Each structure stands twice: as C-alpha cells, then as structure tokens.
Amino acid sequence: MSLIRQVWLLLVLTLSLAFVGALGITVQSARGYLEGQLGLKNNDVAQSLALTLSQQRSDATAMELMIASQFDTGNYELISLRSPTGAVLVERRAQRATTAAPDWFVRWLGVEPNAGLALVSDGWKQIGRVEVRSQSSFVNDQLWQGTLRTLAVLSLLAVGAGAVATLGVRRIRAPLDQAVQQADAITERRFVTVSEPSVPELRNVTRAMNAMVARLKSMFDEQAAQVEQLRRQAHCDPLTGLSNRAYFMGRLRVLLGSEDGSAAGALILMRFVDLQGLNRRLGHPATDRLLQEAASAVLESVRRTGGGEVGRLNGSDFAMVVPDVESLRDPALDVSARLRSLLKTHEGDINIVIGAVRWWHGAPISSLLAAADQALAKAEARGPFAVEMDDAGEGLILGEDTWRQHLQQALLERRGELVEFALVNAMGAVVHQECPLRLRLEPEGPLVPAAQWLPMARRTEMTARIDEMAVELALKAIAMDGRARAVNLSPGSLRDSSFIYRLRDLVRAAPSQAPGLWLEVAEAGALTHLEEVRELVEHLRPSGARVGLEHAGERLSESRALLEAGLDFIKLDASTTEGLASDRARAQHIEGMTRMLHGIGLSVFAEGVIDTLDAQVLWECGVDGITGPVVQHLLPSAR
C-alpha cells in the first residue's frame, strides 16, 4: 500500500473513531439525562398521589376517583394501587403511544425510566402501594431528534475535517509526486530539478534528488563533451573543422546508396590554386586563417541551399554535396560568389576554381568522383574563378503533377511493399527487420525505392499518408509471423498536426502487435522537430511501440534535449562506423558514444555495415546490433 493511501487510511480511521465516539457519548448522555428526569417525575407523582390517597381513609371509591383523575390529567402509561399482598385494587393502563423514532432506535437506545413507587396508609395501617409509569414515547422522540441534530452537526464537522485533511495530504503529496516525476524524468533521460517544499523531511528528500539530478547532468555533459572531442578527432579536419576526407566519402557513399535518401543532388569541388605558393607569400598563419574563412563561407552557402555535407579532401581541395537540387547552377554560382567576395578582401594573388557534377541515387561513387575531378580540371584550365558544370545524369523526368498522381494512385490502390533486412545482435539473433517502403508507381511496374519518390512526396506533402501505410503494412506483417519490424518516419510527417494522433489510434487498434513496432526518425529531422518527437514518444510509449533515431552520430553530443525526448534506441549512420578497423580514432569515438548512450538507457545499433572487420570492432565497442550487407555474409541464419 502506498504511503499516501496509508495516510488516508489513518485519517479516515481517526475521523471515524472520533465521529462514532462523539455521537455515542452525546446520545448516551442525553438518554441518561432523559431517563433520570422521567424517573424523578414518576417518583414525585407517586409520592404526591400516595399522600392524597392516604387521606381518603380507605374509601375505595374515593381512591379510585383520585387515581382516575390523576391518570386523565397526565401522560401516563400506568397508575395502579396494589394491596400489601400484591392484589390489584385500582389500575389505570394505556397503550404505549406510537413514536416517530424508528423501532431499532427504540429497541437499542430507547428511554426506559424507573417506575415511581410509594406506600399508601391509613394511619398506622398500610393500605397498599401505588405505582406510576409515565409514557416514554415523547422522550424517545426527543432523543431521536436530538440524535439527528447531533449527527448533522458532527457530519458537517467531519466534512470540514476531511477538507482540512485533504489540503494537508495534498501538501504532503505534492513534493512526493514531484520526486516521482523527477525519478521518471531521469529514466527518460530528462534532467529536471524541482523547488524544495516547506516540510523539513520532504525538503531533505527533494534536496537529495536535486543534487543527484545535477550530478547526473554534469556527468552526462562531461561524457558528451568527451564524445564530441572524439568525434572531431575522428571525423573533422583539425584546421577548418569540416569533415575530413574519410568521413566525407562515407557520407557521400551513404547518400548514393540509402533507401530513404535523396534521388539526386549536386557534388561541387573547390580548389585553391597553388596553395604552396600562398604559404610562401602569405605565411602559414595567414594561409590557415584564409582556409578557415573559406570553410565558413562554404558552410554558409550550404545552409542557404537547404543543407548538405562539406568536407576538406586535402590541403587545397574542398567539397560539398547538396541533396535535392534541381540544377547545379544555383549552388555552384552561390559558393563561387561567396569565395570570390571573401578572397577580394585579402592581399595577394589568390585564386580558386570550381567543378560541379550532378549525382543520383545508385550512381557508382568512383565514376562520380572521376567526373567531378574532370570538371575541376577543365575549370583550372580555363583560369581563376572558373566554374565548370556537368549536369548530365539520371535526373527525374516526371513533373510535380505527374508525381502527385502516381503517388496518390499508389496509395489508393495500396501498391506498396516492405522489403526486409535483418538487424542482428552479437549472438546472431534477429532483433528486428529493417523495413524500408517501396512503391509500385505503375500498376505493373517495378517496386521503386524511397530515394526516387521521397523528394517529390515531401514536396507534395504526402509523406504522412505514405508513413501511415508503411506502419499498417508493418503491423500486418507482425501479426502474421510475430517478428518485430522497424519503419522509417519522414520528419515532414511530424509537421502534420493530426499525424501523431492518427498513428496513435492505428497502433492502439493492434495492441498485440504494437510491442513489435519500431519507429525511426532521422537524426537531423528529429532535431528540427524535437517537440513533435517528444509528443510521438508520449503517445506511443503506453502501447509498447519503440521510437528512436536513424542515421545518427554526427550531432548526438550537440543537443542534450534530443536525448531527453524519451527515445528507446539510436542507429548510428553508416558513414560514422565505416572504416573502424583501420582507424583507431573513429573506433574510440564509437566506443565512447556507445558507452554514453548505454549510460542513459538507450540501445545502440549500427547501420549499413559492409566489412567483417568493421563488424568485429563494433561488437568490441559494445553496440547492441548491426545491419547491412555484412549480416548476409557473417550470419546467414539471420536472413
């Protein structure tokens, strides 16, 4: 039994005992008083009547008249005169009057006064004994009415006492509830401090909880700072802070092969011409500052075009990859203009050239890089600040209206299927099936991966309906074989104000399948829609469904609020885990990140693992599961 219930039980018992005791004492006191008064009356009447009868000189007729007269003038139940032998000489008796008091009350608490007795004599000769009994019904009525009034007054007092007790319990319960909520928040990776109550004992508990939360928060901040430092060492160029070559190539490879990535985009290479000559003319410190300023200009250009990845490939070459752009011209000319404006402020002959090519989903990375290098060489041949663009590629040829019609028809006819890729733990057991959605855009056409239609689904604001269909398919598949499924949710779906509620109702309608449902939101999208992610977790957690991040790793240590959203798992992006076997710094980063996430109760998985040596390092780093091509080679039983 909870402490609050025990307090309430104690209060109820105390008030009940006080109520019953007060009522019993009051009723018994009134009953005793009324019995005493009625008994005294009986005795006084008997003495007075006996004196009057003694003066009648044994005249039976006169005594009978006197007794009849007394009986008729009062409210009596019995007046009798008996001889010394007990024989009845005169008797007047009336039926007991009816009373308004209930029978049970009269039986248990009714007034039973003593009869009045007195001797009647003629001189020294005893004539008999007179007995007087008054009617007690009116006394019982008075006692019943008094009891009701007392009960009403005590009830009002009990209600008042209950109200005061309620306020007192609430005053005690409020800090206890705060402590419980604080503990629940810690389990959900939220660090909440509460105000200290005025009750000394509870103040000490709250103070201790706040101190613990502050300590946990400090420990997490320290771990996050360490992980961020390891990330920079593993993934970033030490001079500019941009992605280093290895990490940039990993991100590009993921973009080209991701099921739920972008259909196409731009790859832009930038080269500082004769960087060694710049070092000689300007000096190393000035050249380093110039490169840092150029890196900031490129980052600003990427942010203006809607986001992407920026890296430093070597000393003089920078690269940026921008997804979902319709042409190369805008991003290429924008970054060129920014760099030209920056370099004009510096003395010396400082030149750059730019080569831009289009990429598309599934393009071979080697061919793409060769085309970009060729464009960069052509620009360098043309001279300073030249921009060379190669816009050939497999761009999407359908217009927006055509795409909308294809997507609407595919949704209407439910032409969608989930493809399955196993995610396994270190023992080879399948944790769940990764289930990206593919749509059949034509009735008899092939299944098309999300990378090709997702950009247009975002543009036409149809992602919420598509995600709902994916969840429905996953729940049906779970119902058939009982295996857990993971489904991607588009960040754009979270912007739909009713999407979360529709999703909640959909999951609640399948209570036995809900615990097998894993929902994933991309890290970048979750950061943008953090409140919606929290709301999603709050609505789905009671059903047993899990919510987590996919494509994560780059920004986990930047935002503690993300980890406070109550998530269940994290899936590290393939670009974060690629090449661990040959890069100790990256392995240390993954190990530190995994330890930090495990410390706050999150499961950690790795996406898109290709190499068996990388998989072995991931197990050594403590990840809970991996997925990717390596699963098919290392763990055939997981297919």
Is the CA virtual torsion 495, 501, 506, 507 positive or negative? positive
Q: Is residue 171 part of a domain?
A: no
Residues 399, 396: Cα–Cα separation, whole Å: 8
Query: Percent helix, strand and coil across the chain, each rounded to 5?
Result: 55, 20, 25
195: DSSP letter: P
Residue 409: φ, ψ to 5°: -70, -40
CA distances to 269, 366, 375, 580 from 370, in Å: 11, 6, 9, 26
Q: Which of 390, 415, 445 is the last residue of a domain?
A: 390
Q: Is residue 107 part of a domain?
A: yes
296: DSSP letter: H
- Closest by CA position to 564, among listed 518, 601, 592, 539: 601
Residue ranges, the chain, pLDDT below 50 = 394-397, 559, 637-639
Amino acid at 14: T
Q: Is residue 305 part of a domain?
A: yes
Beta bridge partners of 387: 354
Establish how many alpha carbons lie within 13 A of residue 372's alpha carbon, considering only the half-sphere containing its beta carbon. Answer: 27
Q: What contacts 258, CB < 8 A, 6 or more positions away?
A: 361, 451, 551
467 with 377, same domain: the answer is no
Beta bridge partners of 128: 120
CB 114 within 8 A of CB 102: no
Query: For residue 347, what is the domain's CATH number?
Result: 3.30.70.270
With 0-12 CB in 10 A as exposed, 13-18 as middle and 19+ as buried, what is 265?
buried
Residue 312: φ, ψ to 5°: -110, 110
pLDDT at 563: 62
Residues 590, 626: Cα–Cα separation, whole Å: 13
pLDDT at 396: 45
Tokens 């098309």 identify what position?
A: 448
CB 438 within 8 A of CB 416: yes
pLDDT by residue (tens digit) across 107-162?
888 888 899 999 998 878 888 999 999 988 888 898 999 999 999 999 999 899 88
Q: Three-state DSSP class for 347?
A: coil
Q: Is residue 380 part of a domain?
A: yes
Tokens 């009994």 identify what position?
A: 133
Amino acid at 138: F
Beta strands in 243-332 (DSSP E): 264-272, 309-312, 317-323
Q: Is residue 322 part of a domain?
A: yes
340 with 439, same domain: the answer is no
CB 183 within 8 A of CB 176: no
37 with 99, same domain: the answer is yes
What is the number of structural domains in the chain? 3
Is the CA virtual torsion 148, 150, 156, 159 positive or negative? negative
pLDDT at 397: 47
> How much is the pTM?
0.70
Q: Which of 159, 176, 204 is the last residue of a domain?
A: 159
pLDDT by residue (tens digit) across 341-358?
888 877 767 889 999 999
Q: Is residue 208 part of a domain?
A: no
* Residue 568, domain extent: 400-638
Q: Which of 142, 159, 176 is the last residue of a domain?
A: 159
383 with 458, same domain: the answer is no
Q: Is residue 617 part of a domain?
A: yes
DSSP secondary structure string for all residues of 71-109: HHHS-EEEEEEE-TTS-EEEEEE-PPPP-SS-HHHHHHH
Residues 608, 580: Cα–Cα separation, whole Å: 13
